[in-house]
Amino acid sequence: MGEAVMVRTIILDVDKNVTHRYDKYARRTDLEDVRWTHLKIEEDNVVDAVVDEMDQTEAFEEDLVEDQRPRITPFYSYTVVVIKAPTRRILTERDPDRGVVQISIIISRNKIISISSSDFDLIDMVMDSFQSMKLRMGSSTDVLSTLLDEIIEYSIDIIEEIEREIDRIEIGLADTSVDMGTVPSKVQNLREKLLAINKILRADLEVVREILQQESPHIETQRFKRHLEDRLLYAIDLVETERETLSGIMNLYLSALSNRMNENMYRLTLVGAALIVPTLVASIFGMNVELPRLGFWTIMLISVILSGVMLTILKVIRGF
């Protein structure tokens, strides 16, 4: 068995004050205490003590850490809740899946154990808030509800950051000095990120709805924050709006690209039109007239005048 990257436990006594913090797996507590233990792990590693305390086999351990769709599974003495969340790494990683963290949560009446598939600083922040009494931890349901609330708000912040990136791309399309060659790859990359976030949010929404609708002996439904469903729906709407915006940006990109191409073709047309008359005059003069020295500059002057007339006519029709 591998070791967890970090283990942290906070314990709340009957007076609702966090009296103990351990940077280890603290297994035994009083019956009225509420214990929250979080394990940071990598790949398939997990502390043996979790499996031992749950009185389960290695198959249970593997089920906790393997990549899977968010779900809720009730057992006799506890319930397992699996959720996923985007992290800020999704903003910089080329592969959106590398910016997603899975959190497996084991919850009973006075105990909650969370196991993350990779480092997720948000959980440390929530634990710090409980410990400093900025948040109240009256039961394990309060911990689960607050943790989900913070994860959803964190996801919304990431979605809004993507929205700002989309705005920057849209503004850049109006700037002729900006290289538009990178726009399709940026749009495709953002589209993949939004698709990954959308899948996560919809799966988490199913978990939240199931918690609210079913009676669980380990989750106090009346203490669970009911606005979580609304916030998830809001986040999903944001994602859908941004995906539509990206489609609009691609249309705007194609339109801008077409306009720039038309401008270039127009300039080439002007150059070609300006050279046609001198070429014609020179060809006629060269084939049919003996080349006198004194007539060279006269012909050149006539060519310049005729080219100027052509450019003036084209400029009147459409601005150069």
Q: Which SS3 state, helix, strand or coil, does residue 167 take? A: helix
| Cβ(39)–Cβ(116) below 8 Å | yes
Residue 118 scores a pLDDT above 80: yes
Non-local CB neighbours of 288 within 8 Å, separated by 6+ positions: none
Mean pLDDT of 54-73: 75
Binned at pLDDT 50, 70 and 90, residue 216 comes out as confident
Question: What CA–CA distance (Å, rounded) separates 63 from 243?
Answer: 33
pLDDT at residue 233, as a whole number: 95
- Say what the pLDDT of residue 284 is: 66
Specify the pLDDT at position 277. 76
> What's the confidence (pLDDT) of residue 318?
66
Distances (CA, A) of 65 to 4, 108, 191, 253, 314: 12, 19, 28, 43, 71
Return the pLDDT at 1: 39
pLDDT at 40 over 90: no
pLDDT greater at residue 313 or residue 90:
90
Query: What is the structure's pLDDT at 100?
Result: 92
DSSP reduced 3-state for 233: helix
Averaged pLDDT for residues 245-271: 82
* Mean pLDDT over the full length of the chain: 79
Task: Kindly state the average pLDDT of the residues 209-224.
Answer: 80
Task: Walk me through the domains of the chain, giving residue ranges and CATH numbers.
Answer: 6-257 (3.30.460.20), 264-317 (no CATH)
Nearest CA among 191, 210, 60 for reference residue 148: 210
- Does pLDDT of 10 surpass 90? no
| Length of the chain counted residue by residue | 320
- pLDDT at site 37: 84
Per-residue pLDDT tens digits for 141-198: 888 888 999 999 999 999 999 999 998 888 887 776 666 777 888 888 999 999 999 9
- Residue 67 pLDDT class (50, 70, 90 cuts): confident
Looking at 119-128, 233-242, 297-306, which range is the least confident one? 297-306
Highest mean pLDDT among 246-250, 288-292, 298-302: 246-250
What is the H or E stretch that residue 132 is in?
A: none
> Which pLDDT score is estimated for 59?
66
> How many whole angstroms from its chain centre is CA 132?
31
Which distant-in-sequence residues (6+ apart) come within 8 Å of 88 by Cβ?
99, 158
Residue 84 in this model has a pLDDT that exceeds 90: yes
Q: Which helix (H) or strand (E) holds 300?
A: helix 296-317
pLDDT mean over 11-31: 62
